[in-house]
Structure 1
């Protein structure tokens, strides 16, 4: 049974845990924090107990991202969307009758609010809005200051410029409540919570499939003591291959952990310290034969570059993507001939072949079920508008077709659903067969 850790504030966990029972084939564990700064300790526990992590939103995910990169564990977060803003404004209007000009609002991007107002035909402006769009740039080393947002809302309220605060940050809501400032945390609807859980279960299965792949390692040493030393460190075994090379067989999860924690280079150096120049090939595959074949191909590339490096390590994965030399200025190449239809579609749609391939993967993950623009946006980690533009291109080329509409739990406007046309289904079948 796969274990999914759900990470969030006490308020979030109280809401989402109501729906754990919808997924009886998964074990769901809650990890509660009062401030994102507490995440380090929680993550240390969670990565040992879970196969996948679902975060309540972009903020805790941002705080945890650097730490998560050290482990071969999959993760996702609930996306912020216009529906949350619309439901929150409706609740405030209905229960408190405040105008936009009487509220202070914080949210990841101001355009979420502007989009709701434009679509609803509301001409009133929100005067006091604080956004934090940089949170989506995971390359940026920057921490979100809870105190800055608490001060933003508090000062406006104390100066009687506002009468109510709407926040997208649980820790800010807790502090505003403690100060006695009328406030509300943005509404997370049932569909949003359910979609988050559905996405987590789907991605958890994919992640397990990858981590359980066979990993084969071969290098230019025939000394059994060295091979056994290396295999023991990986809790693996040494086996001869048809090529005549000795292979160490493990699994992808173990190798990925060593690579991410920068321990594989030290281990290889210790194992091969009698050699001036060392070539190492690593292969991933769904079967032992596939992993061994990929390891030998990677080894051939390493051999060609051994004269230039003390330790030449190349890795070839199940998609025939070659990465190397590892631990150096590594680059990635594709050794798989790209489908000419993908190239043709890429040119017609003015989309990269990579995005076409990712889109096909998205269809496969969803078993070709009808999907919404929000589901596509979540998969690509892009805005819903960007997803809608992608869908429009595919509709114009008749690669997609409209499958109907979905009423999201009787709340909000019906959402259009789309499904793949015959060309994309054919591409998927070719891809699986390659």
Structure 2
């Protein structure tokens, strides 16, 4: 099967890549040329259907962040790494016999040069360097190289930006482009292909959905057809007020990202609950959908993935809760405290989002949206096994008992 990849790059990069096509027999490359990396912003919306998009550098990749995230396919870029810098400097020294201290270079990560020179025992000498980022000014970069050569401080400019290379040549400044090693280019394209294949395999997984109507209502055949067609699903009517949808993970994910649930709510006059489950088999997806249903409130939707992640509520705020854990520390914690992975995941999210490491039972109660009794039972289990400590008390009111102040004592950033 051929993987189709759209490539955005400068003329020189595209010409170089065309010479490597024979080494990529299972990949079809569609080329989109820009003169300056910022032009990639306008190119992205005009890319024809493909399996993935590859950018020739980090600048066009960063410039297009907003539009990239709207693409339905994976994106990747060629990173400027130590291999590219080492290849370029080695070529310069052998071909031009120019000392390292007489070179000017613009690049994204200057520390790569420092590290490389330290590795070869040349840390005392280094080139003139200019950091470039998405906010760079083309003329400032051109001026950086030009002034150094005009002042006799530099003999050669190395640039990471094709537009800078072109302007310096017009101005008769000695310049070469940063060399992208053949191995790095092929590796980047192969990585992009792997991302495309993974995305396809993920999107093809089975998705099962449940629609449960409140008040024993029904959905008309016309509305049911609109709902099912929005996720390319087949429908089984279990009861008058309960429907099962069979679709694919990709179709459901796209629908959730596009807030299609809102459309469903507007189509159906009666309140409803929606639950989805992903899985490698119909049995697994069905079980996950059933497990998601108890979490669903009126006019919302929840999803349990094949990795046992609980996502929702849709179409509003989305939280992610782990319903299983493979981490040995957390597995031991769950075993000792008898707390479910879902509750542990929620506590970890609370810890990461809470502005202070200190909190009260009330703070946790509000976040978990459970009763005070349930919250205190959870905290008691954590305290009894040393996974939380009472570090003080607070009294924000005149009567009653003071509130205990707690701290979590287990890793929550995993």
The reply to whether TM is greater than 0.5 is yes
| Aligned equivalent of 1:182 | 174
Check the 8 A contact 2:262/2:315 in 1, yes or no.
Answer: no
* Shift in Å, 1:12: 1.3
TM-score of the superposed pair, with normalisation by structure 1: 0.68
* Shift in Å, 1:233: 3.1
- 2 CA distance for matches of 1:173 and 1:300? 61
Check the 8 A contact 1:227/1:248 in 2, yes or no.
Answer: no
| Aligned equivalent of 1:381 | none
| Aligned equivalent of 2:9 | 8
Superposition pairs of residues 7-406 of structure 1, within 5 angstroms: 7-46=8-47, 48-126=48-126, 128-132=128-132, 143-221=135-213, 222-224=218-220, 225-240=222-237, 245-260=242-257, 262-272=258-268, 274-275=269-270, 277-303=271-297, 306=298, 311-338=299-326, 340=328
* Shift in Å, 1:73: 1.0
- 2 CA distance for matches of 1:265 and 1:177? 56
Per-residue deviation, residues 264-319 of structure 1 (Å, max 9, x unmatched): 243233223x23x542212223333433332332232113xx3xxxx422122221
- 1 CA distance for matches of 2:19 and 2:31? 12
Task: Give RMSD over aligned pairs.
Answer: 2.7
* Shift in Å, 1:339: 6.0
- 1 CA distance for matches of 2:282 and 2:138? 50
Per-residue deviation, residues 13-41 of structure 1 (Å, max 9, x unmatched): 22222222223233222222222222234
* Shift in Å, 1:250: 3.0
In the superposition, relative to structure 1, how do residues 243 and 179 fare at CA in structure 2: closer, same or farther (>3 Å)? farther
- 1 CA distance for matches of 2:141 and 2:83? 22
- 1 CA distance for matches of 2:153 and 2:107? 19
* Shift in Å, 1:343: 6.2
Moved more, 106-115 or 64-73: 64-73
Check the 8 A contact 1:71/1:257 in 2, yes or no.
Answer: no
Runs of at least 5 residues in structure 1 that lack an aligned partner in the other structure: 136-141, 345-434
* Shift in Å, 1:182: 1.2
| Aligned equivalent of 1:380 | none
Runs of at least 5 residues in structure 2 that lack an aligned partner in the other structure: 333-414
In the superposition, relative to structure 1, how do residues 156 and 189 fare at CA in structure 2: closer, same or farther (>3 Å)? same
* Shift in Å, 1:215: 3.0
Larger radius of gyration: 2
* Shift in Å, 1:194: 2.0
- 2 CA distance for matches of 1:52 and 1:324? 28
* Shift in Å, 1:244: 8.5
* Shift in Å, 1:189: 1.3
- 2 CA distance for matches of 1:149 and 1:256? 43
Check the 8 A contact 1:157/1:181 in 2, yes or no.
Answer: yes
- 2 CA distance for matches of 1:241 and 1:7? 50
User: Secondary structure in 1 aligned to 2:33?
Assistant: strand
TM-score of the superposed pair, with normalisation by structure 2: 0.71
Per-residue deviation, residues 301-340 of structure 1 (Å, max 9, x unmatched): 113xx3xxxx422122221111111343321111124264
- 2 CA distance for matches of 1:174 and 1:299? 60
In the superposition, relative to structure 1, how do residues 180 and 297 fare at CA in structure 2: closer, same or farther (>3 Å)? farther
* Shift in Å, 1:129: 1.0
Between the two proteins, the alignment pairs up a number of residues equal to 326
